[in-house]
Structure 1
Amino acid sequence: MFAIDLHAHTRFFHGHERAAELFDPIGVRLLTLGARYRDLDGVALTNHDYYRQFGGLTVETIPGIEISTTKGHILVVGPDPPTKTEPGTLTPHEVVEMAHERGCAAIVAHPYRNSTVRDVDADFDAIEVNGKHPRTEEWVRTLAGRNGLPLVGGSDAHYPVEVGRAYTLVDADVLTPGSVVEAIRDGRVEPRVRRGTLDQGVRRLYRKIHEGKDNLYRPKEESPGVGDPPQPED
C-alpha cells in the first residue's frame, strides 16, 4: 500500500511565464520535501496545462497534468501525459480519449469548484476528493457512487505546506506510474483527508491569501463549492 498525493503543483504563482519556468526546479524540490515530511510515498506533478519531468527528488513522482477543458479541470496521470495543452480548447471527451491512448487515468478534479465536468457522460476513471474543499466530500462520494467510479484524494497543493492535505492510498505491489493507473481503474484506491491542526491552519491561511478572488465568498444557502449538491434519485 502506498500513500500518494495525486494532485499537486510546482508553481506557487501564475503568470510571468519565464520566471515561473525558472522557478519550477525549486518548486518541485520544495513540494517533494513537503511530501516526504508528510510521510507520503509519492506525489503526482499535475501543473496547469503542462507537464515537465524532474530528477533527483526525495519521493517518487508520478507524471501528470491538470487540463483546463471546456467544462472544467481534469487530471491526467500516468506514464505518458501530454507535455502541453491549450487551456479551454479540449472537451472532456477529448481529454479522456487522449489520456487512455497514452496509458493514463482521467480523473475529475474538484467537481464542485468552477466545473461542470461532473455532468459530462465520459469514460472517466475516478473522481477526486479535493484537499481544499473537504466539506464537499460527502457530495463527491454520492457522485462517485452514482457513476460507479472510484474515489481518489489530492491536496491541490500550490504551496509546499499544503501537500498531503488529501491523498490516496494505492493498493499496489510496486510504485510506478503504470501500477497507479491500474490500481485506479481496478478501484484499488481510497482517499484520505487530513483534518489536523496543521491542515486547519493551512485552510485558514488559504482563505486569507485568496480573499481578493471572490470565489471563496458564498451565500450560506449555497454549496461549499460551486454548483448544486447531487440530488437523490427518484
Structure 2
Amino acid sequence: MYAVDLHAHTRFFHGRRRLGDRFDPVGARLLAEATARRGLSGVATTNHDYYTPFDPDVDVAVLPGIEITTDRGHVLVVGPDPPPATEPGSLSPAAAVELAHERDCAAIVAHPFRNSTVRELEDVLFDAIEVNGKHPRSQPLVEELAAERELPLVGGSDAHYPFEVGRAYTVVETDADRLTPSALVDAIRDGRVSARVGRSSLDRLLRRGYRAIHRRKRVIDAIERPTPGVGTPPGEEQ
C-alpha cells in the first residue's frame, strides 16, 4: 500500500516559460523533499500542459504526469508516458482521455467543481475523479459524482508550493514491490485507490490562511453569484 499525491506542480508561477524551465528541476527536488517529510510514498508532477521527466535524489517516487487544459476544464494524465506538451484549450475532454489511453496513462477529472464543466460529460471514459486538496469541503459533492459515474476517487493537493503537498492524496493498494507508473495506472483502473484529505495542524492552518486571502480578494461565492455552467458549489474553497 502506498500514499501518493497525484496533483502537484514544480513551479510557483505560470508563464515566463524559459525561466520556469530553468527552475523546474529545483522545484521538483523541493517537491520530492516535502513529499518525503509528509511521509508519503510518492508525488506526480502534473504541470500545466507540459511534462518534463525529473529524477531528484530523494527516496520517494516522482511519477510522470501532466495537467491538460481542455476546452471544458482540466484533466490529469498520469502514467508511464504522458504527452510531452499540449496546447491549452485545443483538446476536448474526450480527446484528452483518448490521448491518455493511447499512452497507457490514466485520465482523471481534476477539481470537477472549480472552473470546469468536464463533470457534465457522461459519455467520456475517465478512469477516476479527483478530490482536490484546495477544496476539501467539496468532497461530498465529488463522492456523489463518482458514485453516479461508478468511478474511483483519487486525491491530489494541487500544490504550487512544496509546503502544500499532501493536502489531499491517494492511497494505492498494490502488491508491487515499488510504486511504478504502470502499477499506479493498474490500481486506478481496477478501483484499488481511495482519496484522503490531510487533517494535520499545518493543513488546517493553510485552509484558514487561504480562506482569509480569498476573502480579501473578494472571490465570488457561488451561493451569491453563480457563474452559469462553470460556478463553484457551496463549500468550494481553499
Same fold (TM over 0.5): yes
- The CA deviation at 1:228 is 5.0
- 1:191 counterpart residue number: 195
Matched, 1:226 2:231: yes
Q: Deviations over 1:107-126 (max 9, x none)?
A: 00000000000011200000
Distance in 1 separating the partners of 2:120 and 2:224: 22
Question: Is the 2:97–2:107 Cα contact (8 Å) retained in structure 1?
Answer: yes
- 1:204 counterpart residue number: 208
Question: Is the 1:71–1:91 Cα contact (8 Å) retained in structure 2?
Answer: yes
- The CA deviation at 1:177 is 0.2
Distance in 1 separating the partners of 2:217 and 2:45: 25
- 1:3 counterpart residue number: 3
Matched, 1:21 2:21: yes
Letter in 2 for 1:94: A
Give the 3 Å change call, closer, same or farther, for CA 84–71 of structure 1 in structure 2.
same
Distance in 1 separating the partners of 2:53 and 2:81: 11
Superposed CA RMSD in Å reads 1.8
Give the 3 Å change call, closer, same or farther, for CA 219–93 of structure 1 in structure 2.
closer
Question: Is the 2:12–2:160 Cα contact (8 Å) retained in structure 1?
Answer: yes
Give the 3 Å change call, closer, same or farther, for CA 38–138 of structure 1 in structure 2.
same
Letter in 2 for 1:139: L
Distance in 1 separating the partners of 2:63 and 2:214: 28
Letter in 1 for 2:27: G
SS class of match (1:43): strand
Give the number of aligned pairs: 227
Unaligned regions of 5+ residues in structure 1, if any?
230-234
Candidates 161, 168, 171, aligned match of 1:169: 171
Question: Is the 1:222–1:228 Cα contact (8 Å) retained in structure 2?
Answer: no
Letter in 2 for 1:166: A
Q: Which moved more, 1:10-19 or 1:90-99?
A: 10-19
Per the normalisation by structure 1, the TM-score is 0.91
- The CA deviation at 1:213 is 6.1
